[in-house]
Amino acid sequence: MWHIAERYCLTEIVKVFGAIMATLVLVVASMLLLRTLEQVNIGNLRAGLVLHFLGLQLLRDTATLLAPAAFLAVLMALGRMARDSELIAFSAGGLRPLRLLWAVLLFALPVALVTAWFALVLKPYASAQIQLIESRKDDEATRIGGLQAGRFYQQSDGAVTFYAAGMDSGGRLTGVFVQDRRSDPPRIVLAERGAYRESAVAGARAVVLEQGRRFDGIPGEAAYTLFDFARLTYYISGAGAGQAERWRRAATPTAALLASTDIRDRAELEHRLSAAVGVIVLGLLAVPLIQLSPRQRSGGRLALAFLAYFAFFNGQRLAEEWMTGGVTPPWLGLLWYQAAIVAIVFAALLPGSGLWRRLLARLRGR
C-alpha cells in the first residue's frame, strides 16, 4: 500500500520536474528559434519550414534534457522538504530512507521510459529529417560565401586551386577553374557556371559546377581521361568523413544499430541508452545528497551534487571516446562511467554516515 508520505514526495517531485522541463524547453526553443530565423534571414531556409524545423530540433534534443531535469527535480524537491523539516517528520513517523528511494524510483521509471522513447525512436527520426532539410537547403543555396571573381583561392595547403572569372546577375560564378593535386592523377575541372556551398550535413566546402569538363592526367603526358558533365558537386575542402559519419549514425534507426557489429554503432546505441539509464541513476543518486536536518551544513553535499552532475555528462563523452578509440575493451561498454560516479559519490559520503561511525566505534571497542 502507498504511504501518504510517499505520495506527497512523488507529487512534489513531479511538480518541480514539470516546472524545470517547461523552463528548459522554453530556453532551448528560444535559442533554436533564433538560429532558425538567422537561417531564414540569409536565405538558407524557407519561412514556411520554420516551425517544422524547430519542432524537429526539439524532438532531437528533448532526450538530453530529461535526465538533468529529473536530477534537479529530485534534488530541489527533497531539498525544500529537508529545509522545512518535513523529511525529519516523515522519518519520525516511520518513513525509512528505503521508502524515500522507492518514491523516487516510482518517479524515475516512467521518466526513463519516456526518455528511452525519445532517444531510441524520435531522436534518430528527427535527425534524419533535419539532415534531409539541410541537404535540400544546401542544394537550393546560391551563396557565394565571400568568394570574389577574378581571384585565385587555395585550399588544403595549396593542393586545391580555385578561380572564377566573373559573376552573373544572379550571384552565380562564371568561368570556373579548379585544379586538384590531391587526386592521383592530378585533376583539372572547367565549368561555365558554379555556386559555392558549405554543407551543414557533411561539414564540407564545395562548388556545384554546371556545363563543364574534367581532365584527369599528368601534364605533359598523353595518357589522360576526359569527362563532360552537366552538373558536378566538387568538394574543395571539408571536415572529413568523421563528421559526416557521426551525422549518419545519429540518424540511423535503433534497429539497424542493434544489428550492426561496428564498435561505433554500438557506442551510438549505448549513447542513446545512457540517457534513459541516467534518469534512474541520477534520480537515486540525489537522495543521499540531501541533508535530512536543516541544522546540518548542506554546502558540501550541494557542491558534491553539482560535481557529480557535471562529471556525469562529461564522463559520457569520455567513455564514448575511449570505447571507440580502443582504450577500454568492447565488453566493458559505455555505461561503466555511471557506476563509477555513483561509487565515487558514496565513497565521498561514507565518512559522514552513521554506518561509518558505527564501524569506527566497533574498531575502537576492540
- Distance CA(81)–CA(23), nearest Å, equals 22
With a cut of 90, say whether residue 150 has pLDDT above it: no
- Distance CA(32)–CA(348), nearest Å, equals 39
Residue 146 maps to a domain: no
Judge whether 140 and 39 are in contact, CB under 8 Å: no
Are residues 276 and 132 part of one domain? yes
pLDDT of 295 reads 55
Are residues 105 and 176 part of one domain? no
Are residues 135 and 162 part of one domain? no
Last residue of a domain, one of 240, 255, 289: 240
Question: Per the structure block, which three cell numbers stand in for 199?
Answer: 554543407
With a cut of 50, say whether residue 144 has pLDDT above it: no
Residue 28 maps to a domain: yes
Judge whether 51 and 95 are in contact, CB under 8 Å: no
pLDDT of 2 reads 55
Give residue-wise pLDDT tens across range 221-252: 777 788 888 887 776 655 444 555 666 778 88
Q: What percent of the chain has pLDDT over 70?
A: 78
Residue 10 maps to a domain: yes
Residue 145 maps to a domain: no
Summarize the confidence of residues 86-104 as an average pLDDT. 77
Are residues 133 and 33 part of one domain? yes
Give residue-wise pLDDT tens across range 166-221: 877 766 788 888 888 877 788 888 988 887 766 554 455 677 888 888 888 887 77
Are residues 252 and 216 part of one domain? no
Are residues 160 and 184 part of one domain? yes
Provide the domain limits for residue 218.
152-240
For residue 75, the one-letter residue type is L
Q: What sign results for the dihedral spanned by CA atoms 48, 52, 53, 54?
A: positive
Last residue of a domain, one of 185, 216, 240: 240
Are residues 192 and 159 part of one domain? yes
Last residue of a domain, one of 219, 240, 261: 240
pLDDT of 142 reads 39
Mean of pLDDT over the chain: 79
Summarize the confidence of residues 62-86 as an average pLDDT. 87
Give residue-wise pLDDT tens across range 338-361: 888 888 888 877 766 555 556 556
Number of domains, the chain: 2
Are residues 224 and 294 part of one domain? no
3-state secondary structure 292-304: CCCCCCCHHHHHH
Are residues 94 and 58 part of one domain? yes
Residue 262 maps to a domain: yes
Are residues 257 and 187 part of one domain? no
Residue 213 maps to a domain: yes
Are residues 174 and 35 part of one domain? no
With a cut of 90, say whether residue 299 has pLDDT above it: no
Are residues 8 and 80 part of one domain? yes
- Distance CA(235)–CA(199), nearest Å, equals 10
- Could you check whether the bond before residue 185 is cis, i.e. omega within 30 degrees of 0? yes
Q: Which residue has the higher pLDDT, 289 or 210?
A: 210
Summarize the confidence of residues 318-336 as an average pLDDT. 85
Summarize the confidence of residues 157-174 as an average pLDDT. 78
Residue 298 maps to a domain: yes
pLDDT of 362 reads 64
Q: Which residue has the higher pLDDT, 273 or 251?
A: 273
Residue 147 maps to a domain: no
Give residue-wise pLDDT tens across range 109-132: 999 999 999 999 999 999 888 877
Judge whether 201 and 135 are in contact, CB under 8 Å: yes
Summarize the confidence of residues 305-316 as an average pLDDT. 80
